[in-house]
Structures are given as structure tokens and as C-alpha cells.
Amino acid sequence: MSQKRRRSLARGRLTFIMGLFGVAFILITFGYIAWEQRSRLIQRNEDDIRGTAFFLADHTARLLEVTDLTLKQAAALTDGQEWDRIEASRALWQQLRAVREALPYIEDVWLNDATGRLRLTSAQFPAPSSNAAGRDAFSAQVTADQGLFVGEPIIGQVTKAPTFMISRRLQRQEQFDGIASVTVSLSYFYDYWAKLRLPRGGRVALLRASDASVIAQYPPPPDGLSFAPIDKAAFDAALSSGPQAGLYSFISMGDERLGAYRQVGAMPLYISVSMPENAYWTPWFVQTRLYGAFALIALLALLALTALASQQFREQAANAELLERQVSMRTGELRAETAALEILNRTGSALAAELDVDRIIENVVDAGVDLTGAQFGAFFYGAARDGGEHPGRYPSERSRSAFAGLPIHELCAPAFAEGKTVRLENVAVGFGPDGTPYIKEPSPGGVGIRSLLAVPVLLRTGDIHGILVFGHEKPGIFTERAERLLAGLTAQAAIALENGRLYGKAQSEIEERKQAQKQQSLLIRELHHRVKNTLATVQAVVGATARSASSIDDFYHAFVGRIISLANTHTLLTEAVWQTASLRDIMEKELKPYNDARGGRVILNGPAVDLPSEAAVPIGMALHELSTNAAKYGALSAKGGQVLISWDAEPEDEGIRLKLLWEERGGPAVSPPTRQGFGSRLLHRVLATQLNAKVETDFNPEGLRVSIDAVLKQGQFPNTPV
């Protein structure tokens, strides 16, 4: 008996050691999975802030390019003029206001002389008393031309609002003559950045490379200027290894942060997108908790079985027979649990290596059938996918047909609607005329379904991704153990499905970014082409206006009017991304100043026509010349005069044939001109050359009539449909 007892004790110790080994294995496996998940979340966060920094840097570079063009335009307006004349010019002020209103992110445009005194601003006319000599955007340009210089954040002397200045040097005879500058609205950046999806605690900053000073930051501080500082030493060290883009760690306001930076074009400016170093903690904790629950269940089960086996081995020899029966029983349970655990481990390994959603569902259905002992299994999507069925596992076509005949959504409604497990002992129950229940037998050769088990697959967001449904032809097959095993399986399935969804989303985002980069390149080439065309048009307008003007004032007023008309047309084209401009919108912009409150002086009649960019500019300038002529000499110069414009558009093989008729009524008597001016040359030469248009002019004494007949060829913007 003592020998048998010693043998039992030895077996107990061995069982205890094996149990400890199993515990260690579970803990190590759990720790490895948790560590891998943490590394994956950290990498995803780094990729997110890198992509966000790239996108924002590109957006800011585009804004600064437009700002540079605006400052060059403002400098060109003042070229060769004395400051006293500039300060008193309402026409220049109106042009500055037009520039400011065209760019939503610019608060105002400013012109300061060499002493820093404010001479002209789009904010008000005449300019208020102000001096920019103390601003770094002014002082930096005094000694040398800094090009486009971005100043530090300030409180505006006139607007009293947080902003920052962007300046360009003005020169006269190689000497410093002042600056042209704009103040940029910080709220524009905040509104734009607020649309981004940032990690919790994320922060976006626009900063200068020279001193790492922050120019704009989101979320904004309460006073608008007290920005969280950037660790200049850490930032400079990062720039030394990656001057254009990279990652760096730093400490800001006592918090350890991880930031991604990207240079804004070729300027010494950078976009920094940062987040706390521990931003991964919350999602990692949520995901790890699921693994922990499963590991805890397995750990407790293993400890319980180990303790029970050790205790059984310590039983007295008198209870040997009972002990053998108990050991045999427990061994069977252990085998069942081990088999279930093997299935779960095998399925978990397969799911961890699988990213295809359909394959994940197939693996989960197969594992669920093996765990529960079901004859068949299927997966139904949740409400987001209209509850559609995914191909399942069936032993025969008859069982598939029998399952298809069941009202699954009604029988398992709590699983679909509330995410609760549904277990039905006998679903093939009918009721007689008197209400007595009975078992419905299947048709000859058919399969009857008695037991059903439905378990929801819940994502970490709480949404129901789908429902696992298992069936058997015998009643009462499924037990609580089956529910418990499926709970662990669905937890693994939820994680795998979430990973598959994230992988698919990542692939989609990568493809979208490639397309966006390609589209951006094409947009830049198209912009270069449009700028060349615009400069050629302006050159032609200058030459033609100079030839037809009799004095400097006539030249100035005619040239400014034509440039404004050209700008209005370009504004309409820019709103449509340089593809088309509405003919009616062009007319309304040109003739609105001459119409009365009732709209009776100018009458427009015609269908909606979108002009391609090649036709919008010459037609817009032609309408400007006709409007100006009517206001000076024609129907719009008389009190009761009217202008009637009618047009029609018909499709043709090469595009659209546009027929436009300009008629004037109620004005002074009309006679043919003694010389040909710019308007006549524009109508008869430019339209004929650029659009191959047929133009007829009738100097009827009762009113001028001009007809234009042109075929508009539909151009195509790069990589976009017509």
C-alpha cells in the first residue's frame, strides 16, 4: 500500500509540475501575443502621423505658392509709384480688397514703406496709423532680400486678432523700399486641421526650422498664441539625419511625445504631427483584455484540473476503484478540453496568419462545427450587410435545403438585434388545431433540424459583425460548454475580422494616396500650362490696349477693366478646377453693375452652357468689350436703354455649336465707327483665331447687333472624365 501511495504521490508531483509548465506556456503565449499587438499598434500610429504630416505639408506648400503669387502681384501694382500716390489711390485699395476676398485664408494685404509705416491695406481706406518696423517680417527684409519670409505669430495692431505675417521685399533702384505682406488667418488652419483624424492627444504644428518657433498649432491655445513649445534640440537632431521628413521623440510640457515632421515645399518651414508616446495604450488594453480573458479561462481550467488530479493521486488505496473511475472520467473531460483547446489554438494560429475575410469566416465555421459537434454551420452578416448568408459547411445538399427553409432571422432574433447567444432545444415544433404542440417530421428522404445554436461575433466597437449559426437533426445537442467554447472562438474571430478589415482599409488608403500623388502631378503640369496661356493673354491685352489708347488714363482704365474681366473669368474657371465656366455666370458678372433693381435693363435668355477653359477667356473678354461699349456709347448709356442677350447650343460631332446674339435697344443712334478699336479686333480676330468663330456686326441705327457662331470643342482635364 505504501509503495502504491508513493507512486500516487510521485504522479501527483509530476502532474503538478506539468500543470506549472502549462501555466508558464499559457502566460508566455499571452505575453508574446500582447507584445506583438503593441508593436503593431505603435507602427500603425507612426504610419498615420507620417501620412498626415505629408498631406498637411503639401497643402501648406500650395497655400504659400499662391501667397507668393499674391505678394508679387501686390508688388507689381506699386512698381514705379511714389508712396504718397499709393496711399491716396482708392483704385489700388480696391484691387487689394479683390485679392483678399479671392483667398479665404488671407485676412488682409499690407503695404509698408521703408520706415515701416503702413501706407495701404485691404482692411480699410485710408490706411490707419500703424508701423511694422518692430515686426520680424519687416526687419528681416531690411538688410537683405529674404524672398518669401514667414514671421512669428503676433496680435495684429489693426485687427487685434492672433495671426502671422508673410512678407516680400520691395525694392527701388536696388534699394530697400518697404515690404508687401499678408496676414494669414489662424482660424483657417484650425478649421482645416480639425477635419483630420488624429490620435488621442494628437497635435499639429507649423514651425520654422531656424528657431523651431511655432507659427500655428492645433488644438489652439485659449489665448491664440501660447503654443506648446517644440524641443528644438531634438528637432535639430532629427533634421540632421532627415532634412525633409522623419520621426523624432521629444518632451513637451512634461509629456513624452512622438512626432513626424515634413518640410513645406523648399521653404525652411515644417509641419509637425505629434502624439503622446503612450497613445497606443488604450486600444492595446482593449484588445489585450480579450486575449487575457481567454488566457485566464484556460489558465483556471488547467490549474483546476492539475489540482484535482494531484488530489486524486493522494487518495487512499481503499478508494482505488473509485479513484480510477474518477480519473477515467476526468481524463475524458481533459481530453475533450484538450481537443477543444487544440482546435482553438489551431484556429487562432490560422486566423492570426489570415487577412482574407472570406477565409477567416470559413475557418471559424469549420472550427465551430468541430467544437460543438454540429452537423452543419453557417455565418450570417449583421445589419450592416443586410444579414446576408456566407457560404457555410453542410454534410449534404438535403441538409442545406432543410436549413434554407428555416426562418433563421426570426428564430435567432435576439442574436441579430441584441448580440445575445440563442440556444434552441427543438425548433421543429408545430401546433395542432387545439393548440397542442407536436414534433413535425421531415418529408420522406429529407432532413429535419431540431437543435440550433446562434452566437454573435462582436467587434471591439460593440457592433455585431455577424452571427454563427449551428444545427443538428437531434434535439438538445448543444450545451453550455458549447456556448463557452464558441465564446472564445468568436473573440478570436472578432480580432481576425478586425485585422482583415484594417488590412483592406490600409491597402485602399495606399492606392488612394498613389492616385492622389499622380493626380497632383498632373494638376501641377496643367497649372503651368494655364499660367503660360494667361501670361500670353495679358501680353496681348497690354499691346492691343496701348495701340488703341489715346492717353495714359485711357490706357489705365481700359487695361484694368480688361484684367478684372479676365480675373473674373479665371475665378469661375478656378472654382471648377480649370475645366469649365458657366456662360450665364460670366454674363451676370460682366453686366451686373449696369442692371437695375428689377433686372429690366439686361435680359439674358438661353440654356445652361458650360464653356471649356479655351473658350471662356476670349468669350468673357468679348462680353466685357461689348458691355463697356454699351455703357459708354450704346444702350446702357441711355436711361431707358436695354441689352438683350440670347443664345442657343446644339450638339455636333466636334462638340457644341454656340449661337449668341447681342442686341441693344433704346440707346443713342448707332453709326459705323471711323476706326477699329480693341473691341472690334477682339471680336473679329481673337474669336476667329482662337475659336474659329464667325462674327457679324450690324451697326443698325436703332441699336447695335452682334452675332457670334462658334463650335466649342470639349476639352478634357488630365485623368478626369469630360
Q: Which stretch, 308-317, 516-525, 539-548, 568-577, has highest mean pLDDT?
A: 308-317
- Tell me the C-alpha to C-alpha distance, in Å, between residue 301 and each of 21, 26, 298, 309, 484: 14, 11, 5, 12, 12
Q: State the average pLDDT over residues 226-238.
A: 81
Whether pLDDT at 54 is above 80: yes
Beta strand spans in 566-693 (E) = 580-582, 602-605, 610-612, 642-651, 656-665
Q: State the average pLDDT over residues 304-316.
A: 70
C-alpha cell belonging to residue 617: 477667356
Mean confidence (pLDDT) of the chain: 77
Whether pLDDT at 644 is above 90: yes
- According to DSSP, the residues that pair with 180 across neighbouring strands are 111, 168
pLDDT tens digit sequence for 166-216: 888 888 877 888 888 888 878 788 888 888 877 777 888 888 877 778 888
pLDDT number for residue 708: 92
Q: Which of 133-137, 390-394, 520-524 has the lowest mean pLDDT?
A: 520-524
171 contacts: CB under 8 Å, gap ≥ 6: 145, 177
pLDDT band at residue 661 under the 50/70/90 scheme = very high
Q: State the average pLDDT over residues 231-257.
A: 83
d(CA 434, CA 432): 5
Whether pLDDT at 319 is above 70: no
d(CA 248, CA 245): 10
- 3-class secondary structure per residue, 225-280: CCCCCCCHHHHHHHHHHCCCEEEEEEEECCEEEEEEEEECCCCCEEEEEEEECCCC
pLDDT number for residue 571: 63
pLDDT number for residue 522: 46
Q: Helix, strand, or coil here: 633? A: coil
pLDDT band at residue 484 under the 50/70/90 scheme = confident
Whether pLDDT at 453 is above 60: yes
108, 122 contact by CB (below 8 A): yes
pLDDT band at residue 715 under the 50/70/90 scheme = very low
d(CA 556, CA 93): 15
pLDDT tens digit sequence for 573-587: 555 444 577 888 888
19, 303 contact by CB (below 8 A): yes
pLDDT number for residue 647: 94
C-alpha cell belonging to residue 300: 483556471
d(CA 499, CA 284): 13
**Dihedral over Cα of 252, 255, 261, 264: its sign:** negative
Alpha helices in 160-231 (DSSP H): 186-193
Q: Helix, strand, or coil here: 357? A: helix
Q: With b meaning 16 or more CB within 10 Å and e meaning fewer, what string describes 664-696?
A: bbbbeebeeeeeebbbbebbeebbeeebebebe
Answer with the residue of higher pLDDT: 449 or 585.
585
pLDDT tens digit sequence for 336-362: 777 777 777 777 777 777 777 777 777
pLDDT number for residue 578: 46
From 135, 10, 44, 18, select the one nearest 499 (Cα to Cα): 44
659: left (phi over 0), alpha (psi -120 to 50) or beta: beta
C-alpha cell belonging to residue 659: 449661337
d(CA 555, CA 545): 6
pLDDT band at residue 606 under the 50/70/90 scheme = very high
577: left (phi over 0), alpha (psi -120 to 50) or beta: left
pLDDT number for residue 8: 65
Q: State the average pLDDT over residues 320-335.
A: 66
pLDDT number for residue 222: 79
Residues 263/265/269/271 CA torsion (nearest 10 deg): -50
Residue written as grid cell 483678399: 100
Q: Of all residues in the chain, what percent carry a pLDDT higher than 70?
A: 78
683, 695 contact by CB (below 8 A): yes
Q: Which of 8-22, 396-410, 540-554, 576-590 has the lowest mean pLDDT?
A: 540-554
**Dihedral over Cα of 521, 527, 530, 535: its sign:** negative
pLDDT number for residue 317: 44
Q: State the average pLDDT over residues 554-583.
A: 62
Report the Cα 464 to chain-centroid distance in Å.
26
pLDDT number for residue 577: 45
603: left (phi over 0), alpha (psi -120 to 50) or beta: beta
